[in-house]
Amino acid sequence: MAHPKRKISKQRRDKRRTHYKAVAPTVANCSNCGATVQYHRVCPECGYYRGKLAVEKDVAS
C-alpha cells in the first residue's frame, strides 16, 4: 500500500474538497393541483406530469 511521505495539513486537505457544494433541488408548482413538485418528477399529490396523468392515485373515501 502507498504510504504518505509527509503529513497533509488540514488546510491543504480542505482546499482539495472545496469544489463540492450541496445544492437544494429545484422545485416548481404542479400545473394541475398547485402542489410543490421537484422538477422532472410526477406530482405526489395528483399523479400528473407535464399536464398528463402519469400515475393513477387512490381516492380516500
DSSP state, residue 55 = S
What CA–CA distance (Å, rounded) separates 2 from 18? 25
| Model pLDDT, residue 10 | 95
Residue 58 Rama label (left phi>0; alpha psi -120 to 50; beta): beta
How is the chain split into domains, by residue range? 25-61
51, with CB counted inside 10 A (0-12, 13-18, 19+), is: exposed
The per-residue pLDDT for 17 is 86
* Whole-number pLDDT of residue 49: 94
Condensed to tens digits (0 to 9), the pLDDT of residues 6-59 reads 999 999 999 988 887 788 999 999 999 999 999 999 999 999 999 999 988 876
